[in-house]
Amino acid sequence: MLIASCEKEAKPLSTASSNPAANKIEPGQGAANALLTVTGSGLGAITGIWFEKDSVEVNVNPNLNTDNAILFRIPADAVPGQQNILFKNSAGVEFKVPFTVLGLPAITTVSNYNFTAGAEITLTGKNLDDVTKVLISGAATELTVVSKTATSLVVKMPASTALSLFKLDITNAAGTITTTQEFVSIDNAYAVFLDGYGAGWDNGSWGPAEISSAFAKSGTRSFKATYGKGGWSADGFANWSPGMDNSAGYRYFSFWVKGADRDLTYYLTADKKAGGDYGNSDKSTPIVVPANVWTYYKLKIEDIGLWATGSPMQRLGWMIQGPNDGDAVLYFDDVIFIK
């Protein structure tokens, strides 16, 4: 005797329609990984979904698809902006739904890392036109948003802060990011040169150097240093008394420099570096200075050995063996130490 058994064929959750109609998508905008629900009629048997910009595909789960609805998440690599979401069912019929992908704020460049109380700084990047809040990271201090576009955000720095160095938390409709850029309160820094010499500091250059109003990164003046052709020159600053002691807990040495008419490499020099006295041949800390633009440097104290042979430090600057192809003029600004 033979006994036969059979299983009832599973009924599909949905079937393809020749005339699908998407009536609503909720929510109408969202960021990566947000769950979306499309409702309507004839929405069954969806086999493909993709976001129009860059044709970013969605992972379709048939268990979340009925004749009247389909649920799916925004892919992590969906391109922000207004676009269509495209759908295709197993019958090859396509339809689309308009949607706005929200993007997290992204900051690529800043007008300055350093600020004084109440100064305005421009942040450049993308997805900035819907920013609603800017905070000092880890604190409750909120910055005033002066203006905003899709690619720029102007913020007013706080009138006072106990912090020397901090990042920013920026929030828009997609969420919150913390900037990779760190901002420095000049008011809480140790100044070698700002718009003039810091307390105890003066011109310590071998070659021609002076305070100049020709260019400035912050304020109205910078320190102009001329390196003569064919020479060996160290230009910078001196603090003969009392000097700068290595006991204040500073973490960074920072400065802006505007380059000469061609790219050149200089070397940080100081009288207490391990390589010898100020202006010697020590090349342990190279500083590559691009031509004609302001460039920001923030060097870890532990990496540059300014007090390697003792304390206090009395001379600090930048040395070059040459330049051999013509004079070079640099402008230094915001020469500071940061806690």
Mapping DSSP onto H, E and C, the string for 306-335 reads: CCCCCCCECEEEEEEECCCCCCEEEEEEEE
pLDDT of 7 reads: 52
Q: Are residues 334 and 210 in the same domain?
A: yes
Q: Are residues 288 and 193 in the same domain?
A: yes
Q: Are residues 135 and 174 in the same domain?
A: yes
Q: Which two tokens stand for residue 284?
A: 């342990």
Q: Are residues 313 and 230 in the same domain?
A: yes
In a domain, 82, yes or no: yes
Q: Give the pLDDT band of residue 2 (cuts 50, 70, 90).
A: very low
Burial 220-238 (b: 16+ CB within 10 A, else e): ebbbbbbbeeeeebbbbbb
Q: Count of domains in the chain?
A: 3
pLDDT of 14 reads: 84
* 304 sits in which H/E element: helix 301-304
HSE-CB at 53 with a 13 A cutoff on CA atoms is: 14
Q: Are residues 224 and 330 in the same domain?
A: yes
| CATH code: domain of residue 236 | 2.60.120.430
pLDDT of 161 reads: 78
pTM of this structure:
0.86
Q: Give the pLDDT band of residue 276 (cuts 50, 70, 90).
A: confident
Mean pLDDT lowest for which of 47-51, 76-80, 157-161, 169-173? Answer: 157-161
Q: Are residues 147 and 243 in the same domain?
A: no
Q: Are residues 162 and 255 in the same domain?
A: no
Q: Are residues 121 and 141 in the same domain?
A: yes
Q: Are residues 160 and 214 in the same domain?
A: no
Q: Give the pLDDT band of residue 57 (cuts 50, 70, 90).
A: very high
pLDDT of 108 reads: 98
Last residue of a domain, one of 43, 78, 101: 101
Q: Are residues 228 and 118 in the same domain?
A: no
In a domain, 34, yes or no: yes
Nearest to 68 by CA among 45, 101, 100: 45
| CATH code: domain of residue 148 | 2.60.40.10
User: What is the overall mean pLDDT for the chain?
Assistant: 95
Q: Are residues 270 and 329 in the same domain?
A: yes
Please give the residue range of the domain that contains residue 96.
21-101
Q: Are residues 289 and 163 in the same domain?
A: no
